[in-house]
A and B are shown apart, each in its own frame.
Chain A
Amino acid sequence: MKTQNHKAWFFVLPVLLLVAFNALIPMMTVVNYSVQETFGNNVFFWEGLRWFEELLNSDRFHAALGRQFLFTGLILLIEVPLGVIIALSMPRKGPWVPVCLVLMALPMLIPWNVVGAMWNIFTLPDIGLLGYLMNTTLGIDYDMTQSPFAAWATIITMDVWHWTSLVVLLSYAGLVSIPDAYYQAAKIDGASPFKVFRYIQLPKMKQVLTIAILLRFMDSFNIYTEVFVLTGGGPGNSTTLLSIDLVKIALGQFDLGPAAAMSLIYFAITLLVSWLFYTLMTKDDAK
């Protein structure tokens, strides 16, 4: 029996409007810009796919994209294993649990621009705690306004400091959901600590880790504020990640057409990688 009732559409309508106004319409504006040239005053000239072609052949875009993948790859390589290790070493019962959880959550509560400013001051060679320690006390030449290596080391460390907690908390949630019987059975089966990790803890953490990696990928791939406040993309262009380059093009040079085209490609890459990763990770579960 099929009932005809269109009242249901009214219930979907608010969500539809919300999505339209905060996602679809702004997105379409970007699409509109990406195929036109404008010099302001609402004057537009049709350009077709010219901006896309130029961008995909531009060395500047390739370089920024390369830096972006390098950054995201490095922080994932550090944050995921580190987060898992910290989660494994946290207590699972007792009075220290809330203490650890709060300590872990603290860095994530700090606004992004504050994180950038904090690390900026922290690393100043003359007055920053870390900068002074490195240069004066330890005698290591460390100045991120001069050396690209120092700048990279700093943005990576900053991101690890800011976001490893996310991996820790999610992994921890996966770990505490494992019933004691699993550990007891493993003990009785004579499993080594590594085997306990490999066959009990890791499989139970797999789903939350997938989410953690996905979130960290998306966030780090779109990172702007912290790096902008800390290095401004410098020295030179050495830490100019995709988002920083995008803002330079859009607001610095006011090339709205190319910037719009870049936004769309940027978005497509993020979407594609996330989709690929998620599909690969959940492939086995679907069977």
Chain B
Amino acid sequence: MAKITLSKLRHSYLPNPTSPADYALKEVDLDWSDGGAYALLGPSGCGKSTLLNIISGLLTPSEGQILFDDQDVTALPPDRRNIAQVFQFPVIYDTMTVYDNLAFPLRNRGMNEAMVSARVAEIATMLEVTDLLSAKAAGLSPDNKQKISMGRGLVRDDVNVVMFDEPLTVIDPHLKWKLRSKLKELHQKVQATMIYVTHDQTEALTFADQVVVMQDGEVVQIGTPEELFERPAHTFVGHFIGSPGMNVLSAEMRDGGAFLGEHNVALEGAVTAKEGTPQIGIRPEFVQIGDVGLPATVRKVSDIGRHSVVEAMIGDTSVKAITDGAVPEQGAAVHLQFQQDQTRLYRDGWLATTGAAS
């Protein structure tokens, strides 16, 4: 187990990168403490897999350093870094039994058979695959295969970090949540530092203590799931996390206040940035439909189970609201009220108001 430090890390797949756009991964500085559960969240192509491969050593970064427990490992190959990785598609050794699969990383490191069998038995119990140990790995179902490839990562007790690269992609939906909670449980048991890469917000938010949200090769926010939900530092985070995502509304700044069309919108606190395109961000959960507030026309109502999502137009701007109560009819004139302590201003995408609490 180890603390992981990424220092001034940058990577480009081009030989001579010049502009920032040439970098698949823009400068990253991160500190991950020993034994934590972390997630890298972002859409496809945001650089999260690049970052993961740099940590595992499959890729050497163009610039910067990776430190495990303050030791520079940037130049070390994957097998010398003592890491484990679980891939998107389960990697298992087809011709071996489940037992041999789990024992493989240990035997390769010259561990004696008695210790190997003790370790394998322990991990098999944890993963609930003890009854499969003598079966050929080739015949397993996808979720069991993925369990075995996780097992191969966890079986070594000296791993610095276990990494998961979208491990649930090929798993049936009804088994996904099962494996997901298994993983959370495993993390609590083995106390290893774990990094989970995904584009699925549910996976990231349920697994991790801390989530790193990435976009276009850049880390946009690092925080607990609550922080990401409650105070998105960037409109991208607001939009990407939550279902539906945060309303991001083009606004105008005049007379020291923010305006949506001709209506003044009260913000949570003082505006910190003077420059940049202003946008108002508010989550649909904090928009109330009532008799007071901004006048709007209901355009669409969708029932999403326990709640309804009401899409209303304030002028040309569409605003989504989540409501449990009575749902207005399509075309009805309503008033929308923004909860003030959840109404924020963003400039050029970045959060530009101070919170009431902080």
Contacts and interface: CB of A to CB of B under 8 A. Distances in A.
Interface of A: 179, 181-182, 184-185, 187-192, 195, 199-200, 203, 287
B87 interface: yes
Given A189-B105, A191-B108, A181 B96 contact: no
25 contacts: A179-B89, A181-B91, A184-B78, A184-B85, A185-B85, A185-B87, A185-B149, A187-B77, A188-B78, A188-B79, A188-B83, A188-B85, A188-B105, A189-B105, A189-B108, A189-B152, A190-B79, A190-B105, A190-B108, A190-B109, A191-B108, A192-B108, A199-B95, A199-B96, A203-B94
Given A190-B109, A195-B108, A199-B96, 8 more contacts: A181-B88, A181-B89, A184-B78, A187-B77, A187-B78, A188-B153, A190-B108, A200-B93
B56 interface: yes
Interface residues of B, number: 24
Contacts, number: 51
B152 A203 contact: no
Nearest to B77: A187
Nearest to B104: A189
A202 to B, nearest CB: 8
Interface string B49-75: 000000010100000000000000000
B84 interface: yes
Nearest to A206: B95
B1 to A, nearest CB: 17
Interface of B: 56, 58, 77-79, 83-85, 87-89, 91, 93-96, 104-105, 108-109, 139, 149, 152-153
Nearest to A189: B105
Contacts of B104: 189, 191, 199
Closest CB pairs A-B (n = 3): A190-B108, A185-B91, A181-B87
A179 B118 CA distance: 32
B69 to A, nearest CB: 19
Contact of B87 (A184, A190, A195): A184
B84 A188 contact: yes
A182 B89 CA distance: 9
B48 to A, nearest CB: 16
Contacts of B149: 185
Contacts of B56: 184, 188
A4 B149 CA distance: 52
A53 B197 CA distance: 73
A74 B184 CA distance: 57
A182 B90 CA distance: 9
Contacts of A185: 85, 87, 91, 149, 152
Nearest to A199: B93
A187 B87 contact: no
A187 B89 contact: no
Given A179-B89, A190-B79, A203-B95, A184 B58 contact: yes
A122 B76 CA distance: 52
A15 to B, nearest CB: 36
B91 A182 contact: yes
Nearest to A190: B108
A185 B53 CA distance: 12
Nearest to B81: A188
A96 to B, nearest CB: 19
Contacts of A181: 87-89, 91
A182 B93 CA distance: 9
Contacts of B83: 188
A178 to B, nearest CB: 10
Residue from the set A179, A181, A195 with the largest chain B CB neighbour count within 10 Å: A181
Nearest to A198: B95
Contacts of B84: 188
Nearest to B86: A185
A187 B85 CA distance: 10
A200 B108 CA distance: 15
Nearest to A192: B108
Contacts of A287: 139
Contacts of B77: 187
A279 to B, nearest CB: 19
Contacts of A191: 104, 108
Contacts of A200: 93
A179 B92 CA distance: 12
B91 A187 contact: no
A188 B93 CA distance: 14
Residue from the set A187, A189, A190, A287 with the largest chain B CB neighbour count within 10 Å: A189
A8 B89 CA distance: 43
Residue from the set B95, B96, B109 with the largest chain A CB neighbour count within 10 Å: B95
Contacts of B153: 188
Contacts of B91: 179, 181-182, 185
B52 to A, nearest CB: 11
Nearest to A185: B91
Nearest to A181: B87
A193 B340 CA distance: 63
Residue from the set A179, A182, A184, A191 with the largest chain B CB neighbour count within 10 Å: A184
Contacts of A190: 79, 105, 108-109
Contacts of B96: 199
Nearest to B149: A185
A60 B194 CA distance: 73
Nearest to A204: B94
Nearest to B84: A188
